[in-house]
Amino acid sequence: MTDERGIVEAALFSAGRPVSVEDLAKSTRIDVESVKGHVKALAADYTTRHSAVEIAAVGGKWTMQIRREFADRAQAFAPPEIDRDLLKTVTLIAYHQPVLQSDLGDMIGSKVYEHVQALVDLSLVNKRPSGRSFELTTTRYFVEFFGLKATDREGIRRLLAEQAGVKFTPKPAAVSGPAGPTPEGAVPAGDPGGGGNDSSQDRPGQPITDG
């Protein structure tokens, strides 16, 4: 496979949607006629290999997709889609965590209830009672879902600040107080491994701790 063909293949894979030859040419800086040839050659190559993935023409554009006969079985592993508003909300939670639902409501308004429940249902956010409100934190699945390199709360905040181009200010350490009840599925402070053979730390809804 030529370097140009590999670039076109990578562009189709990254796009995740049908793309025109013209857009491929523009993004890869390869002339249109060459892109046409590479796309057709790639489509033939995937067909010859009997791959579960194919490069197909869709409405005058090209896309890399799972073949129909494999689509149903693969669907179970497809990540859920998140709309723009929900993405903003989970970003706010990730940056300000731990954050009270009431404080988040001051930032985004009455849609806070709907958004928080949707994020809990997606296993991206964990909530536990805190006074008359709920304390919100991101889960370990949040890190996996968005492919973040950071795993602890401060690391996530630093990463989000860098991506937003704002100055990162570490949160002051929380003042120690009487130990309260540990929320279901949470890793107790000072015990990042969870102890014993309990596999709860691998569940998607597991909160991220500051360890």
Identify which has the larger pLDDT, 81 or 102.
Answer: 102
- 38 vs 10: CA distance, rounded Å: 12
Tell me, yes or no, whether 109 and 208 share the same domain.
yes
Residues 6+ apart with CB under 8 A from 210: 152, 153, 154
Q: Which two tokens stand for residue 204?
A: 């998607």
Total-model pTM: 0.47
* CATH number of the domain bearing residue 108: 1.10.10.10
Query: 195 burial class (0-12, 13-18, 19+ CB within 10 angstroms)?
Result: exposed
pLDDT digits (tens, 9 = 90+) for 50-87: 888 889 888 889 988 888 777 666 555 555 677 888 88
Q: Where is the domain boundary, 76, 108, 132?
A: 76
- Lowest-pLDDT range, 55-64, 94-103, 108-117, 200-209? 200-209
In a domain, residue 162? The reply is yes
- For the chain, the average pLDDT equals 76
Tell me, yes or no, whether 120 and 18 share the same domain.
no
Quickly list DSSP for 101-169: HHHHHHHHGGGHHHHHHHHHHTTSEEEEEETTEEEEEEBHHHHHHHT-S--SHHHHHHHHHHHHT----
Tell me, yes or no, whether 210 and 132 share the same domain.
yes
Q: Where is the domain boundary, 18, 48, 76?
A: 76
Three-class SS state of 133: strand
- 76 vs 72: CA distance, rounded Å: 8
Report the share of the chain in percent with pLDDT over 90.
32
Q: How many folded domains does the chain comprise? A: 2
pLDDT-derived band at 97, boundaries 50, 70, 90 = confident
- 96 vs 120: CA distance, rounded Å: 17
User: pLDDT at residue 150 above 90?
Assistant: no
For residues 150 and 158, the answer to whether their CB atoms sit within 8 Å is yes
